[in-house]
Chains A and B, each alone.
Chain A
Amino acid sequence: MKQKNAGRLFESLNITLLFILAVLCLAPLLHIVSLSLSSGTEITSGRVTIFPRGFNIESYQQMLQDVSMFRSLLFTVVLTVTFTVLCMLMTILAAYPLTKKGLKGRKFILYFIVLTMYFGGGVIPDYMLTKGLHLLNSMWALILPGLISPFYMIIMMSFFRSIPQGLEEAAEIDGASFNGILMRIILPLSVPVLVTLSLFYAVGRWNGFSDSLYYITDPKLYPLQLKLYQIVMNSMLVGQDAAERLSQLENPILPESLKAASIIFSIVPIVIVYPWLQKYFVTGTMLGSVKE
């Protein structure tokens, strides 16, 4: 009885703490949503916190009229999906063999890969390579250079290693090839980490824009984040130099609420991916299936 009470106390304390944290995490998003729905006067006065003031939906109307936003969205979805699928394929191809202790040259290859976590050529040689491969202004420039993240490969290896050796050995005795073991044992047992890393790759691609800054000049191939970045940074920079400010007088300025609406537009699609993936995170799935 006493233990039950303690358990209940623990549970309510736990839930309360989590609730507070959740509210703190939700607040900035609410702030941006409110900005996107508020009037310019209220925003300039600094009165918009987590509720909209001077409610209006003009910024959304204006944004949704812009066909190029949807084109960017579509492109970004295609880009992200292609990227994620290829990354996962390549990462599996690298991670699985490198967990096999008996493989000669394994250490060498591992060091060969780990070094690239820390050493790189920098922006200019990267650009020269992309140009040399004739990838400028193509979706592949945003995919190929990022195919394998050594960090994620190491994480994947660690999960592969945690699969009981006995299963693989049994399969090998039954005459299964490494290929077969990977497909029939390792991958089915690693669904949670595969889902996690796919999410990491996808979010990384979705949020990244610095490569597109260099490699893409065709506005049709602008990822959403690049468009967003330009929209958000636009007015911040104009104020920096008086010469530029006066020369910009005759051009349209983007209202704060439109910026906020664009931010919402760009994060909603990727944010809703996660709840949908959560069904793959069920405790005990892995060993349960092993037993069968």
Chain B
Amino acid sequence: MSTGSYIRRFWQLYAMLLLPVSFFALFKYGPMYGVTIAFKDYNIFQGIWQSPWNGTETFREIFDMQTFKTALRNTFLLNFLDLAVSFPAPIILALMLNEVRQMRVKRVFQTVMYFPHFISWVIIGGLFLQIFATNSGIINQMLNHAGFQSIPFLSNKYWWLATYLVAGVWQSVGWGTIIYLAALTGINKELYEAAETDGAGRMKRMWHITLPGIRPTILMLLILAIGEMPRIGFERPFVLGNSMVSDFSEVLSTFVYKIGLQTGEFSIATAVGLFQSVIALVFLLGANTITRKFADQSIV
């Protein structure tokens, strides 16, 4: 194609990209010089440019801290478990909802399940304490009444992992379903009808029609989720965690909160963030390469 006809063909696409690209240049790359804080002895009054460089000293300081290493390990541990449990949960729920025939019932279920997304972790944490506390929690009181031992849902670190996962699933499953429901709308109804005349059962239809229909969405979200592995939200581990389970509940976000933000150590907070970002990018691109090779699908 000659340059002239290329431009004639594609100029509209470049015109469309003009605003988005300027947006990223201005609002995302404009402030990006802030990452240099990680390599500086940042003084809030001197500003980012004037503060003296200190090379990789901040990184060295962080890597020397035992608490950082624990937090790093726990971040991966919790995120990995989330990937194994919380990631498939909305897919399963979407499939279950898809099988509900009565539209009205289905809508009510969907709406109700999306509520927890709007309730802050502080409130959820209070509720979990009432329900799961080792001695005074509702569940354990019932167990005790029935003559069973208390289960340390929140105070034994292994049980705590389970509680943490349950809380995550519960809070996000309904919300996570929405995107799959959108994907499900793309499946041709005739495929189901044809399968039914062939005598395929529900499970078969689910396996051979529904799942393949949303496979691209699943893979795309999986790649994105793998890219999020080094990063972790602050509130869930912070609110649910406690000193008895800090072996598992101290993660990078809570570490930064304690050592960085509360004491105004911006250099440490930025360095940890930068470290996470680099790993995140490696993970994302890695996952992207793998799915491109084996599933012929990628996001970049």
Query: Is B54 part of the binding interface, using a Cβ–Cβ cutoff of 8 Å?
Result: no
Q: Is the CB of B20 within 8 A of A178?
A: no
Query: Is A285 part of the binding interface, using a Cβ–Cβ cutoff of 8 Å?
Result: yes
Q: Is the CB of A155 within 8 A of B300?
A: no
Q: Is the CB of B10 within 8 A of A148?
A: no
Chain B residue with the shortest CB-CB distance to A181? B12
Q: Residue B13 contacts which of A100, A120, A195, A284 (CB distance < 8 angstroms)?
A: A100
Q: Please indicate the chain B residues that have their CB under 8 angstroms from the CB of A116 in the complex.
A: 24, 28-29
Q: Which of A94-151 contact B (CB under 8 A)?
A: 94, 96-98, 100, 102-104, 107, 109-122, 124-126, 128-129, 144-145, 147-148, 151
Q: Is the CB of B220 within 8 A of A155?
A: yes
Q: Please indicate the chain B residues that have their CB under 8 angstroms from the CB of A104 in the complex.
A: 6, 10
Q: Please indicate the chain B residues that have their CB under 8 angstroms from the CB of A286 in the complex.
A: 185-186
Bound together, the chains give a CA A178 to CA B16 distance in angstroms of 10
CB distance from A270 to the nearest CB of B (A): 7
Which of B66-74, B121-129, B240-248 contacts its partner?
Answer: B121-129
Chain A residue with the shortest CB-CB distance to B30? A129
CB distance from B278 to the nearest CB of A (A): 8
Query: Is A68 part of the binding interface, using a Cβ–Cβ cutoff of 8 Å?
Result: no
**Which of A110, A179, A192 gathers the greatest number of chain B CB atoms within 10 Å?**
A192
CB distance from B117 to the nearest CB of A (A): 8
Q: Residue A25 contacts which of B28, B115, B185, B266 (CB distance < 8 angstroms)?
A: B115
Query: Is B294 part of the binding interface, using a Cβ–Cβ cutoff of 8 Å?
Result: no
Bound together, the chains give a CA A279 to CA B12 distance in angstroms of 33
Q: Is the CB of B178 within 8 A of A26?
A: no
Q: Is the CB of A125 within 8 A of B31?
A: yes
CB distance from A257 to the nearest CB of B (A): 14
Known: A281-B182, A284-B185. A6 touches B123 (CB 8 A): no
Q: Is the CB of B14 within 8 A of A14?
A: no
Q: Please indicate the chain B residues that have their CB under 8 angstroms from the CB of A263 in the complex.
A: 123
Q: Residue A158 contacts which of B115, B190, B299 (CB distance < 8 angstroms)?
A: B299
Q: Residue A111 contacts which of B27, B178, B201, B300 (CB distance < 8 angstroms)?
A: B300
Known: A90-B23, A125-B31, A128-B31. A271 touches B115 (CB 8 A): yes
Chain B residue with the shortest CB-CB distance to A128? B31
Query: Is B88 part of the binding interface, using a Cβ–Cβ cutoff of 8 Å?
Result: no
Known: A15-B105, A29-B115. A109 touches B17 (CB 8 A): yes
Q: Is the CB of B99 within 8 A of A11?
A: yes
Known: A121-B32, A155-B179, A284-B188. A25 touches B14 (CB 8 A): no
Which of A16-24, A74-82, A213-221, A242-250 contacts its partner?
Answer: A16-24
Q: Residue B281 contacts which of A32, A98, A115 (CB distance < 8 angstroms)?
A: A115
Q: Please indicate the chain B residues that have their CB under 8 angstroms from the CB of A3 in the complex.
A: 199, 201
Query: Is A62 part of the binding interface, using a Cβ–Cβ cutoff of 8 Å?
Result: no
CB distance from B275 to the nearest CB of A (A): 11
Chain A residue with the shortest CB-CB distance to B97? A18
Query: Is B152 part of the binding interface, using a Cβ–Cβ cutoff of 8 Å?
Result: no
Query: Is A73 part of the binding interface, using a Cβ–Cβ cutoff of 8 Å?
Result: no
> How many residues on the B side are at the interface (Cβ–Cβ under 8 A)?
86
Query: Is B151 part of the binding interface, using a Cβ–Cβ cutoff of 8 Å?
Result: no
Query: Is A165 part of the binding interface, using a Cβ–Cβ cutoff of 8 Å?
Result: no
Query: Is B277 part of the binding interface, using a Cβ–Cβ cutoff of 8 Å?
Result: yes
Q: Is the CB of B116 within 8 A of A148?
A: no
Bound together, the chains give a CA A203 to CA B130 distance in angstroms of 29
CB distance from B85 to the nearest CB of A (A): 15
Query: Is B181 part of the binding interface, using a Cβ–Cβ cutoff of 8 Å?
Result: yes
Q: Please indicate the chain B residues that have their CB under 8 angstroms from the CB of A24 in the complex.
A: 170
Known: A93-B20, A121-B34, A284-B188. A271 touches B202 (CB 8 A): no
CB distance from A173 to the nearest CB of B (A): 13
Bound together, the chains give a CA A10 to CA B119 distance in angstroms of 32
Chain B residue with the shortest CB-CB distance to A178? B12
Q: Please indicate the chain A residues that have their CB under 8 angstroms from the CB of B117 in the complex.
A: 203
Q: Please indicate the chain B residues that have their CB under 8 angstroms from the CB of A111 in the complex.
A: 300
Query: Is B295 part of the binding interface, using a Cβ–Cβ cutoff of 8 Å?
Result: no
Q: Please indicate the chain A residues that have their CB under 8 angstroms from the CB of B270 in the complex.
A: 122
Q: Is the CB of B29 within 8 A of A192?
A: no
Q: Is the CB of A102 within 8 A of B20?
A: no
Known: A28-B127, A29-B115, A274-B114. A122 touches B31 (CB 8 A): yes
Q: Is the CB of A282 within 8 A of B185?
A: yes
Query: Is A88 part of the binding interface, using a Cβ–Cβ cutoff of 8 Å?
Result: no
- Interface 1/0s, chain A 151-173, versus B by CB < 8 A? 10011011101100000000000
Bound together, the chains give a CA A138 to CA B110 distance in angstroms of 36
Bound together, the chains give a CA A32 to CA B119 distance in angstroms of 9
Cβ contacts A to B, 21 pairs, < 8 Å:
A10-B202, A22-B109, A22-B113, A25-B174, A96-B16, A116-B28, A118-B227, A121-B32, A125-B32, A125-B33, A144-B23, A159-B182, A161-B216, A193-B183, A278-B110, A283-B185, A284-B189, A286-B185, A286-B186, A287-B187, A288-B188
Additional 19 contacts, C-beta under 8 A, given A126-B31, A274-B114, A275-B111: A22-B108, A90-B19, A91-B20, A117-B284, A120-B32, A121-B35, A122-B266, A125-B31, A129-B26, A144-B27, A148-B20, A159-B217, A178-B16, A179-B12, A193-B183, A195-B182, A199-B178, A281-B185, A287-B190
